[in-house]
Chains A and B, each alone.
Chain A
């Protein structure tokens, strides 16, 4: 077999410029299963708010793969001096291939409109009835069960000890490679770097940008004394750009991902998909891969048109989606709702429903902005404390007051009402109610 890196192709990308794609990766990209990602919008219905947001999971997957290599190569180059990894050339090559394939395939299991209906529309796990599968479980299933993709990966087994199961279990985080995992899944991972820049570019919301080159070039392997393992960290000079990424993500959540109209469409689309496309399957996506992969954004929009022209049972909901007639947000709590405000919100919603009927929607959006809390993330000091390299790291929250201060969870509650002739009366009633605890 030829060396994996012998032959490459160039894909042009508006965010990262030229993206290198090696032969095997192009074979995967050319499968019908991967091409389906061209028909899954990265931000679901967000283009109904930010009209430029038509980009897809296809471009994002390529972007994550490109960034994975850029970060990896920086880490390997710096490790020649620090010698925390001490990998030989074969290990270096093999781990880059593993990382690239995980990056390329991490989102291959997304349903139509990306995160719309995630959880509610997914079937239950076979072994745990009360839990639903996730898009990552579907990514693994596809890698293991889609013959076209699996066969390409399995060719790497002999030479590189990489197989479909390893990639699948890395993606679902059942058995990730402990050293490579933070590059793909951590506070400063390449998935986040790509989606923030890409979503920012296509939505026109500039808050999502940060100094990507600086960030990548200041990443470094550090030694975590608690985990007793090398892991991803950052040089002291990169702390400001790490702060910028965290703030970029924070603002993108508040401005884009948790946008009040976007959240309304998430609810409308979920209901529509459940009641139409998935009606004959108990409102759930099928567990069989061939059937699951038949669904994409086009199937959703075809069904919307069909419901309208055939006067289907979901015609009114289809019109909401087709002609942008979403429910209007008539009340929302602060970004950080207190328990008392939440109680008042729930009580008032009940009262409104009692008075005006049931056709309201409620939404609760939650996120923890400071992803550094879930692990110890280290900064490599400029001035070494000792000759032992393992002593030269300090936790990022001791170096950055901005990161340290982000210690609350976003928790926003919203109430939506249909746009009909009662709307003004409902809004007046809402305005007269006491919403403060």
Chain B
């Protein structure tokens, strides 16, 4: 079992959020959920979450609760985004102390964070949702199908779960994830 203490966990999440702020002018829950999902599931960062499939792809309620508690602790602010459609999460200065406490864990995983943010940080939430969904479906099916069948099966299942994405869009993102070695 993962035994990451609360201070290290919150410090690490605050660090990711700070890095996201360098890339995006604003972001909300969906972006945080998907980035943390990819870090944990595709890059094996040892975080305590159990992601399942929800409306916008892989999701863990505990991560949302963690964000609310980080808000209670005064580490982040959660406002409404400028378009008024979603949320706008901002790290506060008070998070510095937590980030310092998590420095060993951050150093251990720094390259993985950079890799994920370099590849997905600039993604719009919708594309991030597609990438994380493809990974989620791949991971849950890889042991049940032959390698030669897997691409077709995953694309079909993603289409059932997310009919808003066209087959071409899904195939393109699937191939991108293969290219950057995320589907293994």
Contact = CB atoms under 8 A, between A and B. Distances in A.
A202 B23 CA distance: 52
Interface string A102-141: 0000000000000000010000100100111010000000
Nearest to B87: A373
B76 to A, nearest CB: 12
A226 B125 CA distance: 10
Given A339-B74, A368-B61, A134 B68 contact: no
A407 B2 contact: no
Interface string B87-116: 100000000000000000000000000000
B57 to A, nearest CB: 10
A20 B100 CA distance: 59
Nearest to A224: B55
Interface in B58-94: 59, 61, 64-69, 71-75, 78, 85-87
B140 A174 contact: yes
A374 B71 contact: no
Interface in B8-34: 29
A368 B161 contact: no
A339 B164 contact: no
A376 B157 CA distance: 23
A131 B72 contact: no
A374 B69 contact: no
Given A176-B53, A226-B85, A407 B78 contact: yes
Interface in B163-178: 163-164
B72 A368 contact: no
Nearest to A170: B53
Contacts of B148: none
Interface string B34-49: 0000000000001000
| Secondary structure dominating the interface of B | mixed
Contacts of B61: 368, 374
A409 B71 contact: yes
Contact of B68 (A337, A342, A408): A408
A375 interface: yes
Interface string A374-410: 1110000000000000000001000000000001110
A189 to B, nearest CB: 12
A367 B65 contact: yes
B20 to A, nearest CB: 19
Interface residues of A, number: 39
Contacts of A30: none
Contacts of A224: 55
A338 B59 CA distance: 26
A124 B2 CA distance: 11
Contact of A231 (B55, B59, B137): B55
A173 interface: yes
B54 interface: yes
A112 to B, nearest CB: 20
B72 to A, nearest CB: 5
A411 interface: yes
B151 interface: no
A172 interface: yes
B52 A172 contact: yes
A393 B175 CA distance: 36
Nearest to B65: A368
26 contacts: A127-B143, A130-B2, A131-B50, A132-B1, A134-B50, A174-B140, A175-B157, A175-B161, A178-B163, A181-B54, A336-B72, A338-B72, A338-B73, A338-B74, A366-B69, A367-B65, A368-B64, A368-B65, A373-B29, A373-B87, A374-B29, A374-B54, A376-B86, A407-B71, A408-B71, A409-B66
Across chains A and B, which 9 residue pairs bring their CB atoms closest together, nearest first?
A409-B68, A173-B52, A339-B73, A228-B164, A368-B65, A409-B69, A375-B55, A173-B53, A411-B69
